[in-house]
Amino acid sequence: MAKRKIIEIERDKCDGCGLCTTACAEGALALDADKKAVLVRELFCDGMGACLDVCPTGALRIVERDSEGYDAEAAYVHVLKTRGKGAAAHVHGAGAGAHSHGFSGCPGSAACEIPAEKNEEGTEGPEACVKSRLSQWPIQLPLVSPFAPYFKGSDLLIAADCTAFALGSFHQDLLEGKKLVIACPKLDDTEGYIEKLAEIIKRNGLKSLTVAIMTVPCCSGLYLIVQRAVEASGVPIEIRKLVIGIDGKIAG
């Protein structure tokens, strides 16, 4: 065993809501007979802490101690058996032969806000660069938490994966001033997408909701998912729909 980051649960604070069990993509957490959160097996916990964002009582925290290393392949098999193939696809590190003792999780999935960088006024010509307008992380729908604080009172952009590559001015014209969630209605396993988006909409008092999709027919599925999420949320928010052409122009 080696020291690594892992979840620790303050049992007295746990109210048995179960939100952490669904937030953990690796299936490392469960409720016991007393409706208290427990670690199923230490090797399933990647130490990333996605569960921290959703715990309403502060019963969870990350500690560093001696533990079995995170085993991505074991976590994959566990989730595959308990939740199915779609959920197993989101287990961090699975499929790469991962069994790395001491691995502390996927830092690329940790939620964080990105401070805005002030642009230098008057920059122009061939040396000018386009500044990123991305202001939070993560952005992939399976990884974001409906409880992430940056969604509160935000202007939310839900974009199909390809839109940022097709539209050269994506950052300036679509993303600036907004929080971002991306998804692909064709290649993703979209099970649970409606429910997660409904939670984001219901809990955060969004100022506006924009959906950006490509002109290709399969991409319209993302707009339908968002429509159903709004209906499920019960929040009367208008959806602004933008359609991006393969030629890089906003078609509608």
What is the per-residue pLDDT across 145-202, written as a single tens digit (0 to 9) for each? 888 899 999 999 999 999 999 999 999 999 999 999 999 988 888 888 999 999 999 9
The structural domains of the chain, with segments of one domain joined by +, span 2-106, 112-117+132-244
Distance in angstroms (rounded) separating the CA atoms of residues 190 and 100:
29
Give domain 2-106's CATH architecture: 2-Layer Sandwich (3.30)
User: Is 127 a residue whose pLDDT tops 80?
Assistant: no
Strand locations in 11-83, DSSP E? 29-31, 37-39, 60-67
Rg (CA), the chain: 20
What is the sign, positive or negative, of the torsion defined by CA atoms of 73, 196, 172, 117? negative
Whether the CB-CB separation of 86 and 189 falls below 8 Å is answered with: yes
Distance in angstroms (rounded) separating the CA atoms of residues 20 and 103:
21
Structure tokens at 147: 């409880």
Question: Nearest-CA neighbor of 143 among 99, 103, 102, 188?
Answer: 188
pLDDT of residue 133: 94
∠ CA 149-228-154, rounded to 5°: 25
User: Is 125 a residue whose pLDDT tops 50?
Assistant: no
- Tokens 């386009």 locate to 130
User: Is 122 a residue whose pLDDT tops 60?
Assistant: no
**Percentage of the chain lying above the pLDDT 90 cut:** 52
Whether the CB-CB separation of 138 and 111 falls below 8 Å is answered with: yes
pLDDT of residue 97: 41
- CATH fold label, 112-117+132-244: Rossmann fold (3.40.50)
Structure tokens at 119: 């642009």
pLDDT of residue 110: 52
What is the per-residue pLDDT across 71-102, written as a single tens digit (0 to 9) for each? 888 898 998 889 888 888 878 776 544 333 33
